[in-house]
Structure 1
Amino acid sequence: MQRVVVDPEVPADIANLLRRNGPLLSRFRTGWSPEPKGARLPTPLVISLGITAAMVAAATAVTGASKAFFLVLAGLYATVLTCVYIARKPLPPDSVERVVYRNAQRFRGGYLIVEDFDYGSRDLLSRVQQAIDRIFGSRVNAMGMLDSVRNSVMLPAEEWEIARLLTKLSALRARHHTLARGVRTPEVAAAMAPLERALAASETAVVARVEALERYARHVAAADRALNAQGQVDALLAHLPEYEQLIAETGAARFSAPEIGHLSEDAAQLRRALHDSVRSAHEAFRYLDG
C-alpha cells in the first residue's frame, strides 16, 4: 500500500503527521469531519431524567403490569439515549482526528492520497516509493558516500513531482474513458486519436522518470553489496597473521601460501568495485537530477 505523498514545502512535522494518517485523510475525502456541528445535545443525565420523568408520568395513568412495563421501558430508553450521546460526543480539540483534520484543511492541495490515483498510477507510485526507501535505507547513503544531504532534498521532491503528474494523468484518463463510452463514430475516433496519443506519450515520459529512479536504486544496492563484501574480506585480513603462523608451524606453506596471497588481491578488487559502484551511483544521480 502506497504512503501519502506530501509536498516538500509542507513543514516536516505536519508532513510526517499526514503520512502517518492516510486512512483518516481518506475518511475526510468522503466528507466525514471530526469537528462538532450545531448545538450540543443535553448531558446524558438530563436526557435520562427527562425521558424517565415522562415515562413515569405515563405510568401513573395505568396500573399493574402496564405500570411496570412503562418503568422498564423508561430505563431502557434513557440508557439508549445516553449511549447515543456518548457516541456523538465531540472529540477533544487535541485529538488526533481533529488535529489531522485542521492540518489537512490548512494544507489542502499539499498532499496526495491513494484515491487520487488510478490503478496504473498506483503501481508506478509504489515503484517510486520502494526505490526511494531502498536508497534511504542503504548503508552507503547512511555513511554519506552518496551525498545524503542532496538525497534528502531531491528524492522527496522527485516523489512529489512524479505523484503530481500521475494524479493529472489519472484524472485525464478517467475523463477520457467517460467520453469514449458508447458508440464511437469514425469522426469521433479520429478526433480522440491525438488525445489518446498524448496520454500515451505522457505516461511514457512519467515511466521514464520512474525507471531512472529505479536505476539509481539499483546502483546504490550494488554499492551496498560491494561495501558489505569489502567489510567481510577486511575482517578476514585482520586475522591473516594467525593463518600465516599456523601455516608456518605446520609446514603447509607450499600448499596454502598462494591461496592466502590471493586474499589481499581480492580485498583490493573489492575496494575498486566499491569505488566503481559509488561512482556509477553518482552518475545515475546526476542523470536523475537532470
Structure 2
Amino acid sequence: AAAGFAGWTAGALRHLREPAAVRAAREHHGRYLLPADFDRPAARLLVRAQRAVDAVLGSRAHREGLLDSIDNATELPRQEWAVAVALAEHTRLRRERRAQQPDRLSAPVRALLEPQRRALDLSVRSVTERVEALESYARSARAADEAYHEWRVLRDLPEQNARYRDLLAGTVRDALAVEVVGRLDADARRAEEVLRDRVASAVGSGLELATGPAPREAS
C-alpha cells in the first residue's frame, strides 16, 4: 500500500520549487519540495490547490484579461508555494509525532504534548481554508468564462438576425414572411439592449473577480 501511494504522489504532484527559482539545487537548498515531502493528507490538499490554480490560469477569463487587476501568473504560484511549504511542515510534524509512539507514553507526558497537537490541528484547518479559497476563485473564473461566452453569443446576435431577416425578405414575399421579419426586427432591438447590459455586467464581474478570495495565512 505504501509503495502504491508513493507511485500515486509521484504522478499526481508536481516537483515544486519556489516560483521563478531556476538556479542550481545548491543555491536553492530548502526551496524546493518533492512528492516524498508530503504524506497522504498533505498530498490531497496540495493536489486540490494545484488544480484550482491550474483552473484559473487556464480559464478564458484569465487569458482575455478579465481577471488581470491582479497578476495571477505571479500571485497564484506564490499562494501554491505557501500552501506546499505549510503542508510539508505538517507532514514532518505528523511523522515526528508518530515516531514518539504516544501509546507508549504516560498520561502526564501525553498531556504535555497536547498543545502541540492542537496547534497542528489549527494550522491544518487554516491551510485547508486557504485551499478552499483558491477553489472558490477557480469556480468564479469558470463562472466568468460562462458569462464571457454568453457575451460573445449576444454580441453576434444582432448581425445574425439581420442575415436571417435578409434571407426571408429576399426569398419569401407572403404575409407570413412579413410577420417573421417584424419579429426578427424586434428581437434584434431587444438583443442590442441585452448586449449592452451583459457588457456592463461582464465588466463588473471581471473587476469583482479580480480581487480574488482573501486566503488566510497559515498559523
Give the TM-score taking structure 1 as reference length. 0.61
Q: Is the 8 A contact 2:60 2:145 kept in 1?
A: yes
Whole-angstrom CA distance in 2 between matches of 1:283 and 1:154:
11
Q: 1:289 to 1:135 in 2, by over 3 A?
A: farther
Count of aligned pairs between the two proteins: 199
The equivalent of 1:252 in structure 2 is 179
Question: Aligned runs of 1:19-168 on 2, under 5 Å?
Answer: 103-147=24-68, 150-168=71-89
Instruction: Say which is worse superposed, 229-238 or 258-267, in terms of deviation.
Output: 258-267
Q: Which amino acid aligns with 2:207?
A: R
Q: 1:6 aligns with which of 5, 12, 17?
A: 17
SS in 2 for 1:239: helix
Kindly state the Cα deviation for residue 233 of structure 1 after the two structures are TM-superposed.
Answer: 2.0
Instruction: Say which is worse superposed, 174-183 or 107-116, in terms of deviation.
Output: 174-183
Say if 2:192 is the partner of 1:264.
yes
Q: 1:180 to 1:262 in 2, by over 3 A?
A: farther
Whole-angstrom CA distance in 1 between matches of 2:149 and 2:216:
27
Q: 2:162 aligns with which of 214, 220, 241?
A: 241
SS in 2 for 1:109: coil
The equivalent of 1:36 in structure 2 is none
Q: 1:149 to 1:205 in 2, by over 3 A?
A: closer
Q: Which amino acid aligns with 2:198?
A: L
Say if 2:91 is the partner of 1:170.
yes
Q: Is the 8 A contact 1:135 1:141 kept in 2?
A: yes
SS in 1 for 2:103: coil
Structure with the larger RCO, 1 or 2 (CA within 8 Å, 6+ apart): 2
Identity %, equivalent residues: 29
Whole-angstrom CA distance in 1 between matches of 2:125 and 2:184:
57
SS in 1 for 2:196: helix
Kindly state the Cα deviation for residue 260 of structure 1 after the two structures are TM-superposed.
Answer: 4.7
SS in 1 for 2:118: helix
Q: CA RMSD in A?
A: 2.6
Q: 1:288 to 1:136 in 2, by over 3 A?
A: same
Whole-angstrom CA distance in 2 between matches of 1:156 and 1:182:
40
Whole-angstrom CA distance in 2 between matches of 1:288 and 1:262:
41
Q: Which amino acid aligns with 2:212?
A: A
Say if 2:110 is the partner of 1:189.
yes
Q: Structure 2: 5+ residue runs without aligned partners?
A: 1-11
Q: Which amino acid aligns with 2:178?
A: G
The equivalent of 2:209 in structure 1 is 281
Q: Is the 8 A contact 2:161 2:184 kept in 1?
A: no
Q: Deviations over 1:134-183 (max 9, x none)?
A: 11111222222222772122112111111111111110011112224434
Kindly state the Cα deviation for residue 129 of structure 1 after the two structures are TM-superposed.
Answer: 0.9
Kindly state the Cα deviation for residue 221 of structure 1 after the two structures are TM-superposed.
Answer: 1.4
Whole-angstrom CA distance in 1 between matches of 2:27 and 2:101:
37
Q: Deviations over 1:189-218 (max 9, x none)?
A: 322221111110010111111112222222
Q: Which amino acid aligns with 1:227?
A: Y
Q: 1:221 aligns with which of 142, 152, 165?
A: 142
Q: Deviations over 1:220-268 (max 9, x none)?
A: 1111111111112222222221233356551124655554543334323
Q: 1:252 to 1:236 in 2, by over 3 A?
A: same
Whole-angstrom CA distance in 2 between matches of 1:231 and 1:192:
59
Larger radius of gyration: 1
Q: Deviations over 1:83-103 (max 9, x none)?
A: xxxxxxxxxxxxxxxxxxxx3
